[in-house]
Amino acid sequence: MIFDTIDNMKDYYKEMPELEEAASVLMSFPKQCGSYPMRAQGCRYALSQYTTRAKGTSGFEVHHKFADVQILLEGEEFIDLAFPEGLKERCAFDESQDIQFFDGETRCRMLMKKGCFVVLFPGEAHEPCLECRPETSSVHKIVFKILI
């Protein structure tokens, strides 16, 4: 996992060259929510707006082939992380979406704010989109799916 601000994203280009394209997209991303292809083979990104949700609504997600690069454009949310030990399946792995959901114990919580980014590698259990106040709030986010 990498957790930093977009101002420091260039520091990771050598280890993960797809971040350079992600940074380029941030300069002129589409205004409409949706999914878009990247130049890198098999990679894509999605622009979305949503309302944060209560802890445990979806559970922890795990990917097998893709790393998530999540960048908050507006709003705030928590992302909870769990160790793989002790995770309990909620559903079978969906190969077409590269995702499986689990219940588990939160081991770490990150506060995502505008200008933050996180790279979550395959196998790292995470529960994004969580409310950080007693009430829900609106979030604008871009998520890059990088084939590992």
From first to last of its 148 residues, the chain has per-residue pLDDT tens of 999 999 999 999 999 999 999 999 998 877 899 999 998 888 999 999 999 999 989 999 999 999 999 999 999 999 999 998 989 999 999 999 999 999 999 999 999 999 999 999 999 999 999 999 888 889 999 999 999 9
Q: Number of structural domains, the chain?
A: 1
CATH number at residue 30: 2.60.120.370
> Structure pTM?
0.93
**Enclosing domain of residue 136:** 2-147
Q: Residues 80, 60: contact at Cβ < 8 Å?
A: yes
> Which is nearest to 41 in space by CA: 21, 61, 63, 23?
21
Q: Residues 75, 133: contact at Cβ < 8 Å?
A: no
Q: Residues 129, 70: contact at Cβ < 8 Å?
A: no
Residue 22's H or E segment, with its range, is: helix 18-27
Alpha-helical segments (H) within 28-104: none
Half-sphere exposure for 91 (CA within 13 Å, toward CB) = 13
